Every structure is written in structure tokens, then in C-alpha cells.
Amino acid sequence: MYPPPFRYHRAGSLKEAVALLAELGEEAKVLAGGQSLIPLMKLRLASPAHLVDLNFAPGLSYIRPENGEIRFGAMTRHAEIEYSEVVARIPILHDCASGIADVQVRSRGTLGGSLAEADPSGDWTPVLLTLETEVICVGPQGERSVPLAEFVTDAFTTVLAPTELVREVKVKLPPAKSGGAYVAFKRSAPVYATASAAVQLTLVDGDVCAQAAIALGGVGLTAIKAAEAEAALRGQRISAKTVEAAAEAAMRAADPQPDMRGSVAYKRVLIGALVRRAIDAAARRCRREQVEVSHQYA
């Protein structure tokens, strides 16, 4: 199916894109990677009167270490993150980028576009919630920095005003002896995950957990920060008992809806299994073991 007619606008800069959005109003949509918007338009589930294309605006795609952070331009492609030596310093980011859909999607889809889409089944939000992440937004009134935990407010909803855009994503480097892992369960590679789990740990004195962050994807209207599961690990030695306590707490935190991919009970059990696997991989990475993490497929 072909999309309904629309007018195409090629923004020469971020400033020009913001001005176009202000001029064109609510009938305008931003085209970044287009991996969500274009399929919706083809199905006529979205019918914007105007498309504002960011792909030709310079200076929006980069991965830059700076002052204990990694800064990502909003138009940085998933594939660029997957193969970045800078990103390899935070393995959970590589897990996420390398597991998104297929090669074609990773080559076109963007980090900023993914976060702005705020799809409850998306990969980046739960992963970045386990790290100290800020989203830099720009609009007619200038720039503002929003912690990721405050950026997504509901399913497909963010704090972005109609005339605002994501310019940059800043991720703070974790402390020494840290490790993370991201695991998702999918029916096949191109589809969104049925459920996913992101875990970031810092271990001291052997296997004592000094810091823990656990976030769940696909089992709520937004990514869920599993605070009780984090507390089950924090200050405790990583063992079968503490891992099981964290997994059970994560299952309670999940708020899934039944659909063609599974029942509520099934998705809760799935979350428990994914959290156990992610904690194991994260802890081993804290010990500087080389651990390959890949998604699970039905």
C-alpha cells in the first residue's frame, strides 16, 4: 500500500528543522531513520501532511567520549553504535545495538529517533535507563537537558514539545568493576521483543554488589525500572539465592498485557528467565570475563 500524499522538506540544519516544525504545525512529522514512521505511513496508520527530513542536516551523527561521558548525536545509526570501539567500553550498549532487528534496520534506524518514538517494546529505553543518561532537546526557546527517566512519559509519548527535537544523548561511563547485559526474547529477528531485560552491576570485594540497575522492556506502557529487584542485589553477594530473589521481584514489577505473543503469566515467567540470564552475564563481565550475549528467539 502507498502512503497518502505529503510534502517533503529537507532540513539543512537542526535550527532549520525546528523552524519548519513551528511553521508547519501539528501536521508535520520528523523523518530520522524512518524505520517506524514509513511502515506506518504505508499502512495508512499515520498520514502526516509534511515530512521534515533530518538526514541531510550536518553534525548530527557522532559518537564522542568527553569528560567521563559518551555523547551520541541524535542521528547516530544503530550500526555505528554496534561497531564503535568507544561504545565497547559499555558492553550493554553493544548488546542493544547489535540485536536490533536486522542489518537493514540497524543501518538506517537512529538512536534519537528510537528514543523519541517511545515505543514500549523498543530496545534503547530500558538499556539506557540502567545507565546515567540525559537527552538534550532543542526547540525555538533553546536547549534543555532531560534525564531519560523523565523523558518518556507514556506509551509513544515523551516530554518533547511539537517544535522540539532530540539533539544529543549523553551517557555517563560506569565506575570501575562494572558490567551490564541486555537480553530480549523475540519471535524472529525483525520484530520487536516480547519482553526484554537490561541489567547493569558494579561489584566490589569479590562478588558483593555495590550498585545495581535493572530495567524491563515490553511488559508495560513504558520501560519499567525494577527497584525491588535492584534492592534484592544491592549490598549482597551475587549468589543463586540473591539472583532468584531479584528475578522474582522483577516478575512482580512487570505489568504486561496479553496479546498474540503470550499471556500475562507467560510474560512474567519470561521476564524472570531474562533477568537471571542478564544478571549472570553482567556479573561475569564485572569480573572481566569475555561474555557474548545474544537475544533469544522462539
Q: Where are the domains of the chain?
A: 7-53, 63-172, 178-290
pLDDT band at 282, cuts 50/70/90? very high
Sheet holding 50-53, edge to edge: 7-10, 50-53, 28-31
Dihedral sign (CA 38, 296, 130, 75): negative
CATH for 7-53?
3.30.43.10
pLDDT value at position 191?
A: 83
Contacts of 290 (CB under 8 A, 6+ apart): none
Ranges of H-type helices in the chain: 14-24, 37-42, 78-82, 91-99, 103-108, 111-117, 124-129, 148-151, 227-233, 240-253, 264-286
Tens of pLDDT, residue by residue over 160-209, are: 999 999 999 999 999 999 999 999 999 888 888 999 999 999 999 989 99
Tens of pLDDT, residue by residue over 145-158, are: 999 999 999 999 99
Tens of pLDDT, residue by residue over 5-33, are: 999 999 999 999 999 999 999 899 999 99
What Cα–Cα distance (Å) separates residue 31 from each residue in 75, 105, 113?
10, 14, 8
pLDDT value at position 241?
A: 97
Q: With respect to CATH, is domain 178-290 assigned 3.30.390.50?
A: yes
Is there a common fold for 63-172 and 178-290?
Answer: no
Fold of 63-172: 3.30.465
pLDDT band at 3, cuts 50/70/90? confident
